[in-house]
Amino acid sequence: MQRLARRWQRAGMRVGLVPTMGCLHAGHLSLVHRARRLVGRRGQVVVSIYVNPTQFSPQEDWSRYPRDLARDTRLCREADVDVIFAPDDEQMYPRGEFGAFSTFVVEERLSRGMEGKSRPTHFRGVTTVVAKLFNIVQPELAVFGAKDYQQAAIVKRMVRDLNFPLKIVVAPIQREADGLAMSSRNRYMVGELRAQALALRRSLAKARAEVRKSARPIPATRLKAELKRFIERAPAARVDYVEFFEPDTLVPVPSVTRGTQMALAVFLGKTRLIDNARL
């Protein structure tokens, strides 16, 4: 992959990367289309497919995370992807003559709250694997989805802080017809769980409505409690967090106004879904 990337660079081709964990859906394909528009017909679009073990804790769903490389390959062909980079664990985290893999990339400020608090080792795994993908594929730009709002902010900070020579593009959230944010984990939402999962989207709409009708800033603690009760009216729903914060710095805010960013994580049975919106 690195040799191919260098060959493209020598030929003056633009290279766009879409990092994924596979089990592709229309949300992923929207990122591919965005990358193609940005690099042009003569450019190269690379989709990486790798379920990264270092961003999962032992009790999370790494072993059962949906995988279907044959289907992903077909979708990538249809979407005009030039190269699929699908390494295995030994290639990404080699043992070799020096022993076990032992070098990680850690962002220490934006990763403290929300996903970082609920999943303490998650972002260390994300930043490490993304840094490796950038070094391997050597893209001019990489496209991420806005559903993982905190992740996109952390990757942008890593690129700035470590002087990676590429641009990070964050594309809008893609949603199902009923408003649920597209996710590979949505396939776990069957039967009643699927209907109950809409509590995430409805809570965002409720928060927007509260902000719109309020003449004054709303205390964040009050709105969090109200939304938690609203979401957990769905029998299978359990709120992990609801957070309100500054969009650029991710610093939590004491009161909620227009322009505040909201993010939440909710368990539906054993499946954890996330979503976010600017209020």
What is the domain partition of the chain in residue ranges?
Answer: 2-171, 184-278
Q: What pLDDT, in 10s, does the model give residues 225-253?
A: 999 999 999 999 999 999 999 999 999 99
User: What was the pLDDT predicted at 98?
Assistant: 66
Q: What pLDDT, in 10s, does the model give residues 88-140?
A: 999 999 987 667 889 999 999 999 999 999 999 999 999 999 999 999 999 99
Residue ranges of the chain with pLDDT lower than 70? 97-98
CA–CA distance, 161 with 111 (Å, rounded to integer): 14
- Pick from 137, 102, 119, 98: which is nearest to 19 by CA? 137
The catalytic site residues sit at 28
Q: Could you tell me whether strands 271-278 and 261-268 are parallel, antiparallel, or unpaired per DSSP bridges?
A: antiparallel
CA–CA distance, 19 with 184 (Å, rounded to integer): 14
Q: Which CATH number among 3.40.228.10, 3.40.50.300, 3.30.460.80, 3.30.1300.10 corresponds to the domain 184-278?
A: 3.30.1300.10
Give me the residue label for tokens 């059962």: 64
Q: Could you tell me whether strands 255-256 and 218-219 are parallel, antiparallel, or unpaired per DSSP bridges?
A: antiparallel
Q: Which CATH number among 3.40.50.620, 1.10.1740.10, 3.40.50.2300, 3.30.300.30 corresponds to the domain 2-171?
A: 3.40.50.620
Tokens representing residue 25 in the block: 């859906």
